[in-house]
Homo-oligomer: A and B are copies of this chain.
Amino acid sequence: MSARVLVVGYGVVGKRVADAIQAQSDMRLAGIVDVVPSALVGIALERRYPVFAATAEAAEKMTKGGLRVEGDFDAALRAADLVVDTSPEGVTAKNLPAYERAKKPFIINGGEKHSVTGFSFSSFANYTRALGKTGTRVVSCNTTSLCRMMIALRTVGAIDDAFVSVVRRGADPVRTSSGPINAIEPVLGGFSHHAPDVNTVIPELKIASLAVKVSSTLSHVHMLRLQFHKAIDRDAIVEALNATPRIVLVSGAKGLVSNAHVLELHRDRLRPRGDMWEVGVWEDSILVDDRTAVLTYCVHMEAVAVPENVDAVRAMLRLDADPATAIAATDKALGMFQPNANYRSLGHG
C-alpha cells in the first residue's frame, strides 16, 4: 500500500508538492488542507484531490463557495501517514501541536526556523539522517540550491571558502502587492541568512552570503565564488555538475542568456507550470583560476525544493533507505533531467 501524504497549505509550494507526491509510485496524496474557497482549490478538486478545511469557518466558506469539503483537520490527519506543511509563516507553528497530538510525522518548509525541528534536510547532504525522523525541515529554495551545489563541487576538491552574492527575485509572480518595482534592495545589518542556513545542513562549510532583492519574478540568480584548497581543473567542475542529479548546465552561447531564456525552455518542454526543479548553471559562467572558481546559476524559487520534499517523505517513512535510489525515483517520476544526459536544447552536444 502506498504511503498517504497530506499537504497542509495549498499555495506556491503546497500545490507543487501535492502534484509531485501524486506522481510517485510509492506514495499518494491523502488530500490537501486549506482555508479559502479559491479558484486554486477548485483545481485541486478537478484533480480529484480530497480537500479538507482547516477550520469550521473555512469549511462553511468553502461549502458556500461551491467547493466539496471532505472533512475537517482531524479527518485529514486520520487519512494521512505524514504531513507536509507548506502554510505561510506563523501558521505552521500553530499547526504543529495537532500533528504531535495525532502522532503524525511532519515536514515543514524553509520559511520556518531550524530550531522548530532541530533538523534541516537536503537530500544530497543528509538523506540517511532523515530516516524515520518525526519532524524535518526542508530548507528553502536558495539553501536547497546551495546545498546541491556545494555537495557536487566538493567532489572536485576540498573547499576552503565559499562566497555567494544572491540576486533575489522580488516576489513570486502572484504576490502583486510586493516589491520592489525598479529598486534594488540590499540585505543590511548583517550577512544574508542564506549561508548560515546552509550551515544548518552542512555545518563544517565556511560560507558567507550577501543578497539584494530586485524587480523580478522569475528566479533567483546566484553568483558563487569558491576557493578550493588546491588548484582545480575547470573540466572537473563541469563533469561534477553534469554528473549530479538536479543540476543542469545551460549554455548562454546557445542563446540561454538570461533566466527568462532558461525558464522559457522549461515551458517549451511542457513542464507542469513551466517548473524548473533543477539548478540551472550557466556553463559559460564557470571560470577557474588556480584555486579559485566562479559560476552563476538560476534557482526557480517556486519549484526547486519540491523534489527534496518528496525525498524527505520517502526517508521519514523509510520507503527507501538509500539516498541514490530514492533521489532517482523522485526525479524519474517527475520527469526531471537525468545526470550526464546530453540535452541539446540546453546547449549540450
Chain A residues with CB under 8 Å of chain B are: 163, 165, 167, 169, 180, 182-191, 208, 210, 212, 214-219, 221, 223, 225, 252-253, 257-261, 282, 284-285, 287, 289, 292, 294, 296, 298
Contact = CB atoms under 8 A, between A and B. Distances in A.
Contacts of A180: 258, 260
Given A167-B167, A260-B182, A284 B218 contact: no
Contacts of A190: 287
A272 B216 CA distance: 30
B258 A185 contact: yes
A294 B214 contact: no
Contact of A223 (B212, B296, B298): B212
Q: How many copies does the complex hold?
A: 2
A217 B253 CA distance: 26
A182 B287 CA distance: 26
B223 A282 contact: no
A258 B214 CA distance: 10
A287 B167 contact: no
Nearest to A185: B258
B252 A296 contact: no
A223 B183 contact: no
Contact of A221 (B191, B212, B225): B212
